[in-house]
Amino acid sequence: MTNYRGNFLYGFIACGPYEVLPEWVFDKVFCPAVETDPQTGEAKVAQVGLRRVQGALRQGYKKEEVFVANPDYIDKPIGPDTKVVGINVMDPLGMAPVTTTMSPEKLSYVAMKFKRLCARLIQLKKKYDFKVVIGGNGAWELAKPDRMKIHGIDTVVIGEADELAMDLFTDLEKGDAPELMHCFVKNIQNIPVIDEPTVNSLIEAMRGCGRGCDFCDVNKRSKKDLPPDRLQKEAKVNLDYGFDSIWLHSDEMLLYGCDNRDFIPNRDAITDLWKGLKGLGANFIGTTHMTFSAVAADPELMHNIATINRQHENNRWLSTNLGIETVAPDLVKKHLGVKTRPFAPEEWGSVVRKGAEIMNENHWFPAATIIIGWPDESPADVQYTLDMVTDFRAMDFRGLVAPLLYQDFSEKNSMHFGNLNEAQFTLFWKCWENNLKVINDIIPIILRNKTYGPPMKLFMYGIIKAGTWAIMRYLRGLCKDLFNGKMPDEIVEKYARSRSVSAPKIETKKL
């Protein structure tokens, strides 16, 4: 329940180890709570998912019967009349790729906060006898009877609850709900309208992706675009609350309005959407996710939306998330579905390089992910991605590359730090060498945050420097443990650039 001081990237800090970062630093510096009524515990701002369920329930319950609470004040709203408590989770047990990578063998902040909430709910449940239901992207982590019992959970919902929320909560009241539900929205018209503010002014532009990567849960959902007039209505709710910008949530924003099999962006639809939202008085329009293939397919589109945001004029850099995952052709063909379209899988390495260049030219700051430890990954596969990271350094790429350990939904083939081979460790090290340089360059931008005073900016500078130093220190120790006392330089030298496996250059398509 935080706005992350207006910077979604601070959300990654919640995936870090609880034992390392003092809780007061986490709560006060990076992730302060949203505005909350101290008397009732009502959260004035909430996650998009909670607002959707709230909207669905208000179709059958009275407005005053549905209440969104800040977990820190959970004792305030729960009492004898409470029948159901619903919780939205992203990564409740710390099992997702970012968390397992950032908090190896340690309790993460997201997991700690969830455990603390459940401990309190179990006490309240014994007193008031209500039901607890869990939903959200991380609900799959709890979909086992033993985990449900430990955390006091009655029902786990995996998927999209928009259409079934009313029936589910009615059944929970009667004590007649199933322990596990899988559900997906069939009709976009049944997605409830949001009429109260959301975290960081985030509104949902579309559902699903359509790219079909085999490691991603999102590909199970068909792509659905929410119409522009509806997005403007929800955006105005946030602007009226006091936010000065709009963030569009999507798993692949540049496919908004796209209806062709080649996945070529619909330039007019996206440009019109940006113009319409900007016309409401927003300072700028950001988005959570893009794909390098869509960026490379239409450089003019990236220029258009940057121009609408006046990013060139104001030297404003906006961050967004993109998945690289791997650029090894065999792994791309096997695991990434149609992520590379409209380009061929063999071109993916060059598509990423070209896309990164286009984004930086238009003042977009990519926060990109790669996956290390695919079950069928060879050192030769790793070398492709190593060469790409080396090229990033050479082209003075402005963006972060987050190396994540492969996580299997079945929990059978998940990667762990203790299983890294030399090539995989080298890729991990090279990514963080790049990140260290980039973070040093962008610290002044981070510290421009208007919510920080001069003392806090100085403190933040020290925290960021200490955090990056701690990561590199951990990796040096890991290297010694894994490879018989060897230091990173001794390992990395073996995997210097190998031009024989570099991807061929491409030309961006003329559209």
pLDDT tens digits, one per residue of 413-463? 888 899 999 999 999 999 999 998 888 777 766 666 666 677 777 887 787
Task: Decide: 152 and 132 in contact? Cβ < 8 Å.
Answer: yes
Q: Cα angle vertex 143, ends 183, 177, to 5°?
A: 60
Region 38-59 average pLDDT: 95
Task: Decide: 180 and 158 in contact? Cβ < 8 Å.
Answer: yes
Tell me the pLDDT of the chain averaged across its residues.
90
The one-character DSSP state at 12 is G
* Residue 197 clears pLDDT 90, i.e. is over it: yes
Token pair for residue 116? 């603390």
At which residue do the structure tokens 């675009």 appear?
225
List C-alpha distances in Å: 301 to 87, 111, 262, 269, 297. Answer: 38, 39, 16, 10, 9
- 110 membership: H or E segment, kind and range: helix 109-128
* Residue 471 clears pLDDT 90, i.e. is over it: no
Would you place residue 387 in the very low, low, confident or very high pLDDT band (cuts 50, 70, 90)? very high
Within 405-453, where are the H helices? 422-446
The one-character DSSP state at 28 is I
CB atoms near residue 451 (< 10 Å): 10
The one-character DSSP state at 415 is -
Percent above pLDDT 90 for the chain: 70
Residue 95's contacts (CB-CB under 8 Å, 6 or more residues apart) are: 138, 141, 407, 411
Q: Within 13 A of 197's CA, how many CA atoms are on the CB side?
A: 22
Q: Is the dihedral of CA 12, 15, 19, 23 positive or negative?
A: positive
pLDDT computed for residue 261 by the predictor: 87
Region 256-281 average pLDDT: 95
* Residue 500 clears pLDDT 50, i.e. is over it: no
Would you place residue 407 in the very low, low, confident or very high pLDDT band (cuts 50, 70, 90)? confident
What count of residues does the chain have?
Answer: 511
CA distance 204 to 194: 10
